[in-house]
Amino acid sequence: MNTQFEELKMYESFDELANDVLDLANEILPEQMFYLTAFTDSQQVILKLSNQKSSIQITENMVVDLSNSVCRRIDFEKNQPLLYEDVKQDCDVEEVEKLLDDVNIRSYLGIPISLTNGEKFGTLCAVNDEASLLDSRSIALLQRIVKLFSYYLELERFVWRDMLTELYNRRYLTKFFEDRVNEHGALFFLDLDGFKNVNDTYGHDVGDVVLQEVASRLQHIANEHGEAFAVRIGGDEFVLHFAHAASQETWRTLANRIIETLSAWDTAYHVSTSIGIVTYTTDECATLDMLLKQADEALYRAKSSGKRTFKFVHEPY
C-alpha cells in the first residue's frame, strides 16, 4: 500500500479518533452512513465506515481510482463541501450521477479534509440510499469536527516528518524497519556536495531553500517507485529507500539519475550529491543500524573518490 497509508498506521490513537469522528457525525445526522477517506495522487481509500448500509456498495479498505471518485470534485481550495440532497434532482453531471448510482447512493455530502499547508488528506462523507434533507447547521457542525480532526493529523504529521522539508524523518525510517522483517530492498544514503559553501557564502536562508528543493526532487523520484520514500536524516544528509529487489545495474542507473537530478541548478550557487548504496534481501535479517552504517561507509568512499558519484557496500575505490 502507498507509504501515505503506511504512515497512518503509525499514528497514535488514529483508529480510536477516527471512530470518534464517525460516532459524532452520526449523532448529528443519524440517518446517514458516514465514512472517512484518504487520498494519494491517484487513489482514494475508504479508511473507516460508521454504520454499514447493506444497500450501499461501499466497504472499508475499498480502493477507488481517484479519476472515478465523486470526492475529487469537492472544492478543496475554497474548503467547500459538495452536496447532493437528491442525486436524481440536484446533479447535473451525468458522470457523477452514474458513479453514485453504481454504488446505490441517492444523497451525498462530501466534506474536504486538508492539512494547514493546503495538502489534501481526504474527505468525511455522509451518504444515503434515499434522498435526504441536510440542513446548513448540521453541515457546519460536521465541518467543525473535520477541522479538529485535521489538527490531530497535523500534530501526528510533525512526529514523523521533517519540518523544514516535509520529508519523512529518521523516526519514521526507524519505525518502518521495526515493523517489517524478512523483506528486501535498497537504501541510498545521500550527502550533498558543496552545501557548506552555500551556507557560508549565501547564508542559511538560502541553504534552507536548497534543502527544500533537494527534498522536492527526491520526493519526485520516490513517487515514481511505488513504495519508495525519501527521508531527511539531518543537516544535508538524506535517504532514499526502495522496497523492492533489482539488479545492481538497475540501481546504478537510478543512482546516476539521482546525481544528475541533484546537480542541475540554474542559480549562482551549485550543489551535487554523493551516494552510498546498500541492498538487502529477505535472507539477511538486516537491521536499520547495520544498513545505515554500511551505507555511510560506502558514502565515505564515494566522497573520497571525488564526490558527485556513488559506491556500493564492499565496492572498491
User: Hey, what domains does the chain have and what are their CATH numbers?
Assistant: 3-159 (3.30.450.40), 170-312 (3.30.70.270)
SS3 sequence, 86-112?
A: CHHHHCCCHHHHHHHHHCCCCEEEEEE
Helices (H), the chain: 3-10, 14-28, 87-90, 94-102, 136-160, 170-178, 195-202, 204-223, 248-263, 288-304
Q: What percentage of the chain has pLDDT greater than the value 70?
A: 97
* pLDDT level of residue 1 (50, 70, 90 thresholds): very low
First CA to last CA across the chain, in angstroms?
A: 38
Q: What is the pLDDT of residue 3?
A: 60
**Tens of pLDDT, residues 8-32:** 878 878 899 999 999 999 999 999 9
User: SS3 for 1?
Assistant: coil
Tell me what the mean pLDDT of segment 191-208 comes to: 96
Q: What is the pLDDT of residue 181?
A: 62
pLDDT at 315 over 90: no
Question: What is the model's pTM?
Answer: 0.79
pLDDT at 53 over 80: no
Q: What is the pLDDT of residue 207?
A: 96
